[in-house]
Structure 1
Amino acid sequence: MGGGGWYHVPKVWSPAGGWWATPKNWKVNTGFGFLAIGVATAITFTVSISKERRPIPPAWHIPSQNWAVHAKIDDKSLP
């Protein structure tokens, strides 16, 4: 009986740090990862805003018309 004990762990190198790995600065690295994703999302959103055009006005209001640069030029019914 008795729980726990020794685990059979194969001696294989792993880029993730092996079995039950807890890197020293995992919180900082995770923060940098989220920051990089946020910056990439902001850049993509900014480029998307500047390029969005609707040559045919939509039948109903689309939320992206609130921040699109050319929305008032393309759709004359907007205030």
Structure 2
Amino acid sequence: MGGGGWFHVPEVWSPAGGWWATPKNWKVNTGLGFVAIGVACFCTFTISASKERRPIPPAWHIPSQRWAVHAKADDPSL
């Protein structure tokens, strides 16, 4: 009834790091990856909000009109 013990694993090189790999800076690398994804999402959101146009005013309020650049020009009821 034991927990633990030694597992015999072969000495095999792997590009993923092998068995039970823990790279040196995995926390920093993970944080940088999340920051890069956040920056890409922010840039996509900014470009999308600046290009959004509604030539025909919608019948009801649409949440994206709060941050759209041309919302007041496209929908006079705002």
Same fold (TM over 0.5): yes
Give structure 1 stretches of 5+ with no counterpart.
none
Output the CA distance in 2 between the equivalents of 1:22 and 1:14: 13
| Counterpart for residue 60 of structure 1 | 60
Partner of 2:46: 46
Q: Provide TM-score, normalisation by structure 1.
A: 0.84
1:71 partner letter: A
Deviates more, 1:7-16 or 1:30-39: 7-16
**Equivalent pairs: percent with the same residue?**
85
- Could you tell me the TM-score, scaled by structure 2's length? 0.85
Aligned ranges 1:1-79 → 2 under 5 Å: 4-78=4-78
- 5+ unaligned residues in a row in structure 2: which ranges? none
Q: How many residues align?
A: 78
